[in-house]
Structure 1
């Protein structure tokens, strides 16, 4: 331990900042109680953790400072073996092993090189013993910190309790501790969003019987709708869409606009209050004044550009550098690769579109009446499932392409490499996951033309139309199926896959030893048989949650239950990740971090995008604007300033146009003549649009109501976006990044540090003066 203290003194006294290690000053008992430490992880009942089972992780009447061997007398050291916690000790050892020279010669330095050339198979910190115990933690206490984490954090029985963040940070380090702090904060903030979303859904349920639009759809037995596909799709009564009209009302009702505004504001409040929470955690974990050390150059970069060197302006030493032209050319190639992969995504979406337009006719001619009568729903459901499979397959390809493009760019440091890889993977995954959703929300049924003049794909396939009750039901199905399937798959891969792998590894070890009984292995071998942490650290965990955040906010106006599904998933996710880190993974190397890094900027970008998309969903995808225009302009209450359900009488009839069946194209003409409805062949059918009748001066031209609806939609988008953005900026301005009590506490601590340092130095000088004076007298008495 003494060697480590001397080595740490050398590192901290040099100009290269290594780690700010939290230690206690002796004289801190004089500091008043008002600057005592936060204990944010100790919640109120009933979610509070059992206090008697947790160790006292912090001393309230102490403050911390960077460790220095010269000021070792200022630190409270009860035991040199426990002075540095386990996570800090592993960082120190790893720092030494990364820089020690194992063989004379250039580049014969560091543990990473030995791992790369196969000298070692793995290198990892050891867990602190087993996570299980035969004795109860309440009666005998925890055997080690791993056992304590399992009982109070990773066990399924404590799913409703807050996380012991200080203990997580002590065991796994600040970077992993910050991830779980952010995940817990995000999950807690989902409670109000899930409650309001559930309220919007229940409001739709309670007002369903009073909805005039769904009533008219269910009672419209005399309105015959035109076929939704060529040849095989039959004519259908509008009343056949009664169930879909009622389901649409559950998500598209009067509270939808309010919920969209609320979620846009919620995203801003979530991010602003996370900054405050992060500041409290950073203060509590001694990260406020901590700065990362000057990063070393990646070995790949050094090997590539070792022949070109220039002076580092910070260290003053020569180092390899990348020419500007070389960097630009590599970035251009990388950007071209990104563009190509986005085109692959668009091609996949195009393939799904072709599948939808082809199979809707196939399902319409199906021999089973259940599928034949619900051909559009069957088409949408199967298309979503196929799209999900394509998403999962392309994700595997995207990871390899993103890795190739990032290495092609030759980033200088590990943080630059991580940021570049993160942006590529997020962009790929986001486009891959949401491209089909964007198609359904903003393109499905928008450019189909009208009966007799349909727009066609490659002049062959007629573009798919929306259901007679609207396109929102397709968007709800898309979001619900993708969200449930993806979260289920992710949870299986996070827990099920490591469990299977570890079971198989243990089975092979027992077979190799020729025995089926449980053998006692040393701790290093038990940990070696566990699964290593992902090669990209916490990237997969953050990416999963960020994509979920996008689903929760971007199209939330079309699916108010998304926050509730996210909340239920995250309650399970926290325990899954905890169980995985404590029991199924090797212990990762502890590392420090001040925040969640580049992910915060991505969250802000998603928050801005969500405002735009929700404005377009309400204005274009839902029927909110057409209903509003009808109520105030064309309905029975026109000019009276009312918009109740009585003002919606006749809306369904006003939103449908008339088509003369004899005007059908030959390839669009249905095989049935519609005589099954009235006993005689039909002469007219209806379709969703605002167009003039066939005998008007301009047949099938747009009506005045169409232009009023279009103008109202554009006006709503502009007003909604500007209003919400103003509210977001106002909230960002009004909520300070640092809580006032924390700011005062930090200023108070700085003042007291200066005062105590002065008193300590004065005390030391007075003591040295007394010793010199005493030694001088002793020397004078000895003089003959």
Structure 2
């Protein structure tokens, strides 16, 4: 290790950038910088960690700065062998091994090459020992930091307590520490969102018996609805959809608009306060002055463009250079690949649409009465399950394509590579996961035409219609099933799969060496038998949470219970990830980061998209606007400026149009004539739309109420979006990115550091002058 320190000092003195490992080290001057977060934890509070079990990780009352050989006299060095901690030493070694030549040749460079060609099976830092101990941590203390992390963080018994982020950062590095800090902050912010969402749902439950619309649907035994598919679908009473009308009211009620506005504001508050929280963490972890320029160039980039160099305008040093034409051509090819994969997603959605329009007739002719009478629900449920399987299959393909395209671009640094790969994978997964949801929310039942003039797919299949109770029940089912299945599958793959793999590995080891050799294994062999961390680092962890954030905000107006499901999942997710990092995975290489990277921009984009989608869900998918127009324009209270359940009397009848059965097309005419309802063949049936009756001057033309509803929908979208965006920008303006006390501390520290540096340099110069005078006088006295 002494050689590595000498090598580090040489690189610093030769002005070579090695800021892959720039830890802030202690200056000799001390101040009261801040109180450690561990010292603020009070054991009497139930959510706090026990202070006795957490050691002071390092002194926090010292100025810090990037290490430099030229200023080594400013640093406190008690022991040269322990000056750099374990994580920094691992980064130094990894930096060397990535760039050292192992054989003469253009591409014979670096550890990654040796791993790729199979010369080595694995390369990883070691854990500090076992995470278990026979003795209690309260009586005998922690054996090592890994044992301490397991007891106070990864154990399921402390699921309700705060995370020891400083200890996580020390053991796994700042990048992983920031992920768990963000995850904990996101989970904590979900509490108010989950509470309000649950309140909206309970409000629907409480007001269910007083809902005039669901009452009219349940009592409408004399209203016969037209078939929802060709041939096999029968006529049905509107009262048969009573259960679905009640379920729709649970999610689509008077509190829905308030909740949509609240969630849009919540997303902004969450992001703004996370910036403040991140600033505090960055200050505590000495990440404020760490910049992306301190990153080293990727070895692959160096090997590819080593013959082309130019002077860095900032550092003035020669470095590999990628020509603009080469970069543009690679980006064009990458963008074309992204567009092609998005087209594949759209094609998959088109296949799901065809499945829905074909199978609804199949289920309508099914032998089992339960499925036959609920053909639309059965179609939606099976389509969602098939869609989920397609999503999981395409994800495997997307990962390989995104990796290929990102490597084709040849990003300069690791952060650029991660950002490029992250953006591609997010676009793929987001479109893949939400495309069917967008179809159900905004296209299902919107362009079907009307009885007698249905619009058809490829002039053959009649487009799927909404349920008589509306399309919102289909959207709720889509979101609920996908969200539950996705989170269940992710949790299994994160914990269940590594557990099974590690159990199988231990079983093979016992068979090969016998159980008595298990104790004598060195630490490297024990860690080798664990599962390696994902090749893309924290990408999968972030992606899972970001997609969940999208589900929680984008269509929350249709599914108010989404924040509650997300909260319950995340409470488990934090401890599951902690258990996985501490016990099931090899120790990842510690790396630095000052924030969550490109994910923050993605979160802001999702927040903006959520405002737009929720406005359209309320205006188009739900019946909020039609009910509002009826209450103020066409209902019993029209012109009185009142609103309430009494003003909704007759709404169901006003929202249904009349169709003459003899006007059916031959291919749409149902097999049944409807005589089972009244004993005689039916002459008319009803359907959801605002159209003129068949005996009017313009048969089946749009009524005036349709245009009023359309105008109200457009007006609501404009007003809702502008109002919410104004509130979001106002909140962003009012909440500063840095807390005032932190800003003052940073300014004070900067001022004191300048004063200290000036005094230290002045003291050094005075000392050198005195030594020169002393040496000169001694030399004069020795002259004969």
TM-score by length of 2: 0.95
1:99 CA drift (Å):
3.2
Change (3 A) 1:326 1:23: closer
Contact in 2 for aligned 1:124/1:586 (Cα 8 Å):
yes
**Contact residue 422 and residue 539 of structure 2 kept, 8 A:** yes
Shift of 1:594: 0.7
Change (3 A) 1:41 1:231: farther
Deviations 1:261-284 (A, max 9, x none): 111111111111111111111100
Q: Which moved more, 1:287-296 or 1:490-499?
A: 287-296
Matches within 5 A, 1:566-577: 566-577=566-577
Judge conservation of contact 1:193–1:263 (CA < 8 Å) in 2.
yes
Alignment check: 8 A CA contact 2:345 2:432 kept: yes
From the superposition, tell whether residues 377 and 516 of structure 1 become closer, same or farther in structure 2 (CA, over 3 Å).
farther
Q: Is the Cα contact below 8 Å between 2:115 and 2:121 reproduced in 1? A: yes
Cross-structure match for 2:724: 724
SS in 1 for 2:27: helix
Instruction: Give me the whole-angstrom Cα distance separating, in 2, the residues matched to 1:183 and 1:246.
Output: 36
Task: Compare 773-782 and 740-749 and name the one that shifted more.
Answer: 773-782
Structure 1 residues 63-104: Cα deviation after superposition (integer angstroms, max 9, x where no partner): 322223454444334444443222122112222323334445
CA spacing shift, 1:103–1:398, aligned 2, 3 Å: closer
Give CA-to-partner distance per residue, 1:226-254, whole Å, 9 cap, x none. Answer: 11111111111111111111110110011
Q: Deviations over 1:479-526 (max 9, x none)?
A: 000000000000000011111111111222222225577442100011
In 1, Cα distance between the equivalents of 2:417 and 2:587?
23
Offset at 1:149?
A: 0.6
Query: Does structure 1 residue 52 correspond to structure 2 residue 36?
Result: no
Contact kept? 1:182, 1:274, Cα under 8 Å: yes
The verdict on how the C-alpha distance between 1:778 and 1:410 changes in structure 2, with shifts beyond 3 A counting, is: closer
- Is the Cα–Cα contact under 8 Å of residues 101 and 108 in structure 2 kept in the other structure? yes
Match of 1:261 in 2: 261
Partner of 2:615: 615
From the superposition, tell whether residues 16 and 557 of structure 1 become closer, same or farther in structure 2 (CA, over 3 Å): farther
Q: Does 227-236 or 739-748 show the bigger shift?
A: 227-236
Equivalent residues of 1:25, 1:74 under 8 A apart: no
State the SS of the aligned residue for 1:466. coil
* Alpha-carbon separation, structure 1, partners of 2:177 and 2:43: 17
Maintained 8 Å contact 1:21/1:67: no
> Alignment RMSD, CA only?
2.6
Deviates more, 1:261-270 or 1:91-100: 91-100
After superposition, the Cα gap between the structure-2 partners of 1:310 and 1:6, relative to the gap in structure 1 and judged at 3 Å, is closer
Asked if 1:628 is matched to 2:628, the reply is yes
**TM-fit CA distance, 1:340:** 1.7
Contact persistence 2:39–2:51 (CA under 8 A) = no
Does the 8 Å contact 2:471/2:621 carry over to 1?
A: yes
Mapped to 2, the partners of 1:530 and 1:32 lie a distance apart of 42
Is contact 1:21–1:66 with CA below 8 Å preserved after alignment? no
Contact 1:48 1:162 in 2 (8 A): yes
| 1:422 CA drift (Å) | 1.4
* Offset at residue 23 of structure 1 (A): 8.0
SS of the equivalent of 2:692 reads coil
Q: Secondary structure at the match of 1:27?
A: strand
Distance 1:658 1:368 in 2: 31
Larger displacement relative to structure 2 (614-623 or 412-421): 412-421
CA contact (8 A) 2:264 2:610 kept: yes
1:659 CA drift (Å)? 0.9
CA contact 1:41–1:165 (8 Å) conserved in 2 = no
| Contact 1:53–1:141 (Cα < 8 Å) also in 2 | yes
Q: CA deviation at 1:14?
A: 4.5
Instruction: Tell me if structure 1 keeps the 8 A contact 2:24–2:67.
Output: no
- Does the CA-based 8 Å contact 2:87-2:173 persist in structure 1? yes
User: CA separation of 1:314/1:23 partners in 2, compared to 1, >3 Å: closer, same or farther?
Assistant: closer
SS of the residue corresponding to residue 38 of structure 2 reads coil
**Pair 1:280–1:18, CA change in 2 (3 A):** farther
Alignment coverage as a number of residue pairs: 784
1:668 deviation in Å? 1.2
1: CA distance, partners of 2:25 / 2:298: 38
Once the 2 structures are TM-superposed, how far is the Cα of residue 119 of structure 1 from its aligned partner? 2.5
Question: What is the alpha-carbon distance in structure 2 between the residues aligned to residue 584 and residue 23 of structure 1?
Answer: 28
- The answer to whether structure 1 residue 389 and structure 2 residue 389 are counterparts is yes
Does structure 1 retain, via aligned residues, the 8 Å contact 2:26–2:63?
Answer: no
Query: Can you list the C-alpha shifts for 1:375-399, whole angstroms capped at 9, x where unaligned?
Result: 1111111110011001101111111
> Which residues of structure 2 form unaligned runs of 5+?
none
SS of the residue corresponding to residue 43 of structure 1 reads: coil
Determine helix, strand or coil for the equivalent of 2:687: strand
| Alpha-carbon shift at residue 540 of structure 1 (Å) | 0.9
Shift of 1:54: 0.6
Relative to structure 2, which stretch is displaced further, 178-187 or 322-331?
Answer: 322-331
8 A contact 1:24–1:76 mirrored in 2: no
Give the structure 2 partner of residue 31 of structure 1: 31
Q: Deviations over 1:580-610 (max 9, x none)?
A: 1111111111111111111111111111111
- What is the match of residue 104 of structure 1? 104
Tell me the distance in 2 between the aligned counterparts of 1:506 and 1:236. 61
Q: Report if the CA contact (8 A) 2:552-2:566 is conserved.
A: yes
**Contact 2:625 2:713 (8 Å CA) reproduced:** yes
Mark the runs of 5 or more structure 1 residues left unpaired by the alignment: none
Deviation of 1:529 (Å): 1.0
Change (3 A) 1:751 1:522: same
Kept in 1, the 8 Å contact 2:225–2:238? The answer is yes
Counterpart CA distance in 1 for 2:500 and 2:516 is: 18
Task: Return the alpha-carbon distance in structure 1 between the equivalents of residues 35 and 365 of structure 2.
Answer: 76
Q: Determine the C-alpha separation between the residues in 2 that align with 1:760 and 1:312.
A: 32
For residues 41 and 11 of structure 1, the distance between their equivalents in structure 2, rounded to whole angstroms, comes to 41
CA distance 1:751–1:326, change in 2 (3 Å): closer
Deviations, residues 100-158 of structure 1 (Å, cap 9, x unaligned): 34445555443233323332221111000011111110000000000001111111111
Residues 17 and 293 of structure 1 are in contact (CA less than 8 Å); yes or no, is this contact kept in structure 2?
no
Matched, 1:149 2:149: yes
Asked if structure 1 preserves the Cα contact closer than 8 Å seen for 2:441 and 2:621, the reply is yes
3-state SS of paired residue (2:37): coil
Shift of the alpha carbon at 1:770? 6.1
Give CA deviations for 1:664-707 in whole Å, capped at 9, x if unaligned. 11111111111221222211111100011110011111000000
Flag the 1:307–1:291 CA change in 2: closer, same or farther, 3 A: closer
- Given that 1:627 and 1:651 are in contact with CA atoms closer than 8 Å, whether structure 2 keeps it comes out as yes
Farther-moved stretch of structure 1 (47-56 vs 79-88) = 79-88
CA distances 1:404-426 after superposition (whole Å, capped 9, x unpaired) = 22233333443333222211111
Following superposition, the deviation at residue 711 of structure 1 comes to 0.2
1:616-657 per-position Cα deviation (integer Å, ceiling 9, x unaligned): 000000000000000110011111111111111111110011
Distance of aligned partners of 1:657 and 1:377 in 2 relative to their CA distance in 1, 3 Å threshold: same
SS in 1 for 2:517: coil
Q: 1:768 to 1:341 in 2, by over 3 A?
A: closer
**Do 2:692 and 2:698's aligned partners in 1 also have CA atoms closer than 8 Å?**
yes
Check 1:588–1:41 CA distance in 2 against 1; reply closer, same or farther (3 A cut): farther
299-308 vs 130-139, greater mean Cα deviation: 299-308
1:310 is paired with a residue whose SS is strand
Deviation string, structure 1 residues 400-446 (Cα, Å, up to 9, x no partner): 11122223333344333322221111111111000000000000000
Deviations 1:177-234 (A, max 9, x none): 1111111111111111111111111111111111111111111111111111111111
Distance between the aligned counterparts of 1:709 and 1:546, measured in 2? 35
Residue 770 and residue 337 in structure 1: after superposition, are their counterparts in 2 closer, same or farther (change >3 A)? Answer: closer
Q: Secondary structure at the match of 2:685?
A: strand
Equivalent residues of 2:224, 2:237 under 8 A apart: yes
TM-score by length of 1: 0.95
Please give the alpha-carbon distance, in whole angstroms, between the structure 2 residues aligned to 1:296 and 1:781.
55
Per-residue Cα deviation, 1:3-61 (whole angstroms, up to 9, x for no partner): 44433333444544434978898887763577888978879821111111011024343
Shift in alpha-carbon separation, 1:287–1:113, aligned structure 2, 3 A: same
SS of residue in 1 equivalent to 2:292: coil
Q: 1:398 to 1:734 in 2, by over 3 A?
A: same
Shift of the 21–465 alpha-carbon distance from structure 1 to 2, 3 Å rule, reads closer
| Alignment check: 8 A CA contact 1:29 1:61 kept | no
